[in-house]
Amino acid sequence: MPIVEINILEGYDASAKARLGKAVTDAVRSVVPAVPDAITVITREMSHDNYMRGGATRQGAPALPDPVAAVRDFLAAMEARDLEQAETFLGAGFVMHFPGTGPMNTLPQLVEWSKPRYRFVKKTYERFDQAMSDEGPVVYCYGTLHGEWPDGTPFDGIRFIDRFQFSEGLIVRQDVWNDIAEVRP
């Protein structure tokens, strides 16, 4: 029964502390064969007045955004074709890879590339999974695609998986896999 204690500076909201506790629980489970209910995470908050580094009191850095929420919001903006809003989720050097094309670096490139492939596409999500990599958080989402082909014929039930890599709280890479080529007329 692992017990993990975390010391953090005051100022993080309940949501950030809950995300931290879940991430620590998941990290322990990846090494120790324990069910989540057997893992205890204790978070202790310290006043800024009780913490010094380099002879000076310090303020805690703001919590990074929740990567899963960021992916959901990014994809919702993309479906609404609100490219301006979608771009607020992207970091410097953003790159995306879709089936049948080379790397793209801008959302208008993606929109232009997709025009001859379908009128529109939307996603039904089955699941979102978050993991940590050496580069930062990674979010996978998967489910099915539905929409219309260029001639107006509807399609649905096409499997997809998207992988999003984060750096400094922003999406820097999107990789997309789907079966659209298997069912495209």
- Tell me what the pLDDT averaged over the chain comes to: 94
pLDDT surpassing 90 at residue 184 = no
How far apart (Å, rounded) are the C-alpha atoms in residues 183 and 167?
A: 35
| Spatial contact of 101 and 113, defined as CB atoms under 8 Å apart | yes
pLDDT at 79: 94
- Residue 3 pLDDT level (bands cut at 50, 70, 90): very high
pLDDT at 100: 86
pLDDT surpassing 90 at residue 1 = no
pLDDT at 30: 92
How far apart (Å, rounded) are the C-alpha atoms in residues 23 and 3?
A: 14
pLDDT tens per residue across span 23-80: 999 999 999 999 999 999 999 999 988 888 899 988 888 999 999 999 999 999 999 9
pLDDT at 182: 87
How far apart (Å, rounded) are the C-alpha atoms in residues 163 and 98?
A: 11
| Spatial contact of 8 and 21, defined as CB atoms under 8 Å apart | no
pLDDT surpassing 90 at residue 147 = yes
| CA–centroid distance for 118 within its chain | 25
pLDDT at 58: 85
How many other C-beta atoms can be found within 10 angstroms of the C-beta atom of residue 160?
Answer: 20
Q: pTM higher than 0.75 for the full model?
A: yes
CB burial of 68-94 (b: ≥16 within 10 Å; e: otherwise) equals bebbebbbebbeeeeeeebeebbeeeb
pLDDT at 46: 92
How many other C-beta atoms can be found within 10 angstroms of the C-beta atom of residue 103?
Answer: 10
pLDDT surpassing 80 at residue 185 = no
pLDDT at 50: 87
User: Which residue type occupies 104?
Assistant: M
